[in-house]
Amino acid sequence: MNNCPPLFQRPAATGAILLLAGWLSGAMWDRGALPAAGYLLGGGTMLLAAVLLWRLHAADVRQRADIAAYEHAAVTHAQADLQLREIVAMMPAPLFIKDAQHRIVMMNAACEDVFGVPFALMKGHTGSAYFPAEQMEGFLSNDRAAFAGGQLVVNEEFVWCVSRAENRQMQTFKKPVFDANGQPQLLIGMCFDITDRKRAEAALQRTLDQLRAMTLHQDRIREDERRRIALNIHDELGQNLLAMRLDIGRLHARTAAGHAVLHGQSSHVLATLDATIKSVRDVINDLHPSTLELGLCPAVEWLLGQLNQRSGLRYRLQVLDDSANTLLTRDLTSSLFRLVQAALTSIACFARAGAVTVSLNLKLDTMTIVLRTDGAGIVQAEQATTDAFGIRAIKERVAAMGGEMVLARSQGGSMMTLLLPGVKALQSGIPEMAPA
């Protein structure tokens, strides 16, 4: 059709020409010797012209319908593209769309604010002119990972903001879109500025670390004060009571034969002195047990014996490894002892247990202290309002030492596990405090 003269490209003109040719043919044959053949030829030509006219008209209708459908599809696509751009522009979250070649084809105002670059400058480009080379390599690597995996990819990365002239920490979400043949078509991305949140988290963590360090410092000072008071009581009050006990003892011995009344009174005084001396020894041990000077394992064994006398709680001590026991400093020994003491106090008061097993695994690289009871009370004690602070205090003190406390239910009871670093890590992470 395109090679025909313009006149023959119109169906009506072509049909009219064929009809005229058929009429002329009939007229010419009518003047000759064969009029019937002329009219037959003219009629066939006219019939052929009518068929051709109908087919050309049908083709023209189809062509016009295809053109109308194409124009309608183009208008619909343009409207959909406009609606998509309006939706993207209205979204408060920073959003961008890339093609399969990593070029930005759409970006809203929120994303312009995050990148610090207007969309007019970024359109059709990867953005390599506005971001550092190492960042661009990370962006493209994440794009390729999203297309290769065919699913949402979430990353935290630093993005240079041109308008602010600083790196901002972003959390990006990238979702690939594929065409009907399964080939990469678009990459829909969203990014959220988490810089302020990360800075707030870092500040909060620094505050928490400072509070934990201050707590350890206060515990060290308190322990040194306890040790000093215990030594003073032992050296001064203890010696005075012992000297008084010796004097009353001699008086009691001399009055046995001739002074029955004085002998009986001195006997009561001796009993009072003995009870006072025992109380002083208990106060000294509560402040700073003398067995701590022998190491952690003997001190824990003495503590379990004291707990058995006071509450009747049966106990068993397991020393799996004590290779680090002799390397523990005085402060570390006291800190670990106070942790075990606080845990046993919680067990005795709130665990409703009849027996406890303490396992000490004091290795050079890691130290583990496990307390098992035949009651479910350790786990429940954490939830009890009366002892919640006791368990939380143990957890915080373990965390301050760089360790972790784990509560779990065991067979027929419960278990508390204290996971602590090795001796060298504790000594380097917790500075030694001078005695008060």
377 Cβ contact list (under 8 Å, min separation 6): 347, 350, 351, 352, 353, 414
What's the pLDDT at 46?
A: 64
What fold characterizes domain 289-436? Heat Shock Protein 90 (3.30.565)
What's the pLDDT at 108?
A: 87
C-alpha separations of 40 from 25, 26, 404 in Å: 9, 7, 109
What's the pLDDT at 382?
A: 55
Q: Are 423 and 327 in contact (CB under 8 A)?
A: yes
Residue 371's H or E segment, with its range, is: strand 366-373
What's the pLDDT at 82?
A: 65
What is the three-class DSSP state of 384?
Answer: coil
Helices of type H across 288-420: 296-311, 330-350, 377-383, 388-400
* Pair of tokens at residue 158: 């630093």
Q: Are 356 and 347 in contact (CB under 8 A)?
A: yes
* Pair of tokens at residue 65: 């319908």
Whether 93 has a pLDDT exceeding 60, the answer reads yes
Q: Are 380 and 347 in contact (CB under 8 A)?
A: no
Q: Which of 294, 386, 303, 392 is nearest to 341 (CA)?
A: 303
What's the pLDDT at 77?
A: 67
- The letter for the amino acid at 276 is T
Interval 369-389: pLDDT, tens: 999 888 666 666 555 545 556
Whether 416 has a pLDDT exceeding 80, the answer reads yes
Q: Which of 60, 58, 56 is nearest to 48 (CA)?
A: 56
Q: Are 218 and 431 in contact (CB under 8 A)?
A: no
Burial class for 396, CB neighbours closer than 10 Å (0-12, 13-18, 19+): middle
Instruction: Tell me the whole-structure pTM to 2 decimals.
Output: 0.59
**What is the C-alpha separation between 365 and 424, in angstroms, rounded?**
8
What's the pLDDT at 140?
A: 93
Q: Which class does domain 91-193 fall in?
A: alpha beta
Interval 153-183: pLDDT, tens: 999 999 999 888 999 999 999 999 998 888 9
DSSP string, 203-243: HHHHHHHHHHHHHHHHHHHHHHHHHHHHHHIIIIIIHHHHH
DSSP string, 123-142: TTS-STTTS-HHHHHHHHHH
Interval 242-260: pLDDT, tens: 888 898 888 888 888 878 8
Radius of gyration over every alpha carbon of the chain, rounded to an integer in angstroms: 48
* pLDDT, greater one: 223 or 26: 223
* pLDDT, greater one: 20 or 126: 126
**What is the C-alpha separation between 328 and 330, in angstroms, rounded?**
7
